[in-house]
């Protein structure tokens, strides 16, 4: 069974999709740690409610944030590290230790609408402003830059004529969660 450490900064809805998939026996994985740079994040609350070890690690709590994240992942015996709405760039020590085993989800069809500053509603606003007919979600391996690295999977979502950034975000998020569960399931093979 694959062991996963999750890094998340906000509400943790994508984390919840993994928690639910594991609880319903749709995903044979173990969530061994949840790490957030935001002490008030929903991700930490969701982890605590599910009995998953939760850690607040930020520049305010640890002098060497990168080393603290790495130590937490290693202590959790994580096979893979998942960035699910994590709003910080990983440090070089963690990137090196988990090279080829760090996955990020992104709410667009990379390489379009990716990179620094493209997150949350900003992505969906940009997709609509560009007149795109489709958007979607991407799951990729992480390297040393924002939203780069080999793409593992993508799913497409039609952009509707009446879409707002919020309505598009809702549909993309649903598709992203399903794609993540499918992709993580393949890590066991």
pLDDT, one tens digit per residue, over 52-110 is 999 999 999 999 999 999 999 999 999 999 999 999 999 999 999 999 999 999 999 99
Q: What's the CA gap between 39 and 56, in Å, rounded?
A: 6
Catalytic residue among 26, 62, 75, 106: 106
Q: Tell me: do 132 and 155 sit in the same domain.
A: yes
Q: Which of 64, 99, 134 is the last residue of a domain?
A: 99
What is the rounded distance in angstroms from the CA atom of residue 55 to the CA atom of residue 59?
13
Average pLDDT over residues 152-168: 97
Domain count along the chain: 2
| Summary mean pLDDT of the chain | 96
pLDDT band at 145 (very low <50, low <70, confident <90, very high): confident
For residues 89 and 111, membership in a common domain is answered with: no
Q: CA 9 to CA 3: how far, in whole Å? A: 20
Q: Residues, the chain, total?
A: 189
Query: Is 50 in the same domain as 13?
Result: yes
Q: Determine phi and psi for 97, rounding to 5 degrees.
A: -65, -35
* Shared domain check, 128 and 70: no
**Which of 99, 124, 157 is at the close of a domain?**
99
30 contact partners, CB below 8 Å, separation of at least 6: 1, 2, 3, 4, 22
Among 99, 125, 151, the domain-final residue is: 99
Burial class from Cβ neighbours inside 10 Å (0-12, 13-18, 19+) for residue 169 reads buried
| Predicted local confidence at residue 189, as pLDDT | 53
Same structural domain, 91 and 109: no
Domain that includes residue 130, residue range:
105-189
Active site residue 28: no
In 3D, which of 189, 32, 76 has the Cα closest to residue 18?
32
Q: What is the pTM of this model?
A: 0.95
CA distance 77 to 120: 30
Q: Is the pLDDT of residue 161 over 70?
A: yes
């Amino acid at each position: 069974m694959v062991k996963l450490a999750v890094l998340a900064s906000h509400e943790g809805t994508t984390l919840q999709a993994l928690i639910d998939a594991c609880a319903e026996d749709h995903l044979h994985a173990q969530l061994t740690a949840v790490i957030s740079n935001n002490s008030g994040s929903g991700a930490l609350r969701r982890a605590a409610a599910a009995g998953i070890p939760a850690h607040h690690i930020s520049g305010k709590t640890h002098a060497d944030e990168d080393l603290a994240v790495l130590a937490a992942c290693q202590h959790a015996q994580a096979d893979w590290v998942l960035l699910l709405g994590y709003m910080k760039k990983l440090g070089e020590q963690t990137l090196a230790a988990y090279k080829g085993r760090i996955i990020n989800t992104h709410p667009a069809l990379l390489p379009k609408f990716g990179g620094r500053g493209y997150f949350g509603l900003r992505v969906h606003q940009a997709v609509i402003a560009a007149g795109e007919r489709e958007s979607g979600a991407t799951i990729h391996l992480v390297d040393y830059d924002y939203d780069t690295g080999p793409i593992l999977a993508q799913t497409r979502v039609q952009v509707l004529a009446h879409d707002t950034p919020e309505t598009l975000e809702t549909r993309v998020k649903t598709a992203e969660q399903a794609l993540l569960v499918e992709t993580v399931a393949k890590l066991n093979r």
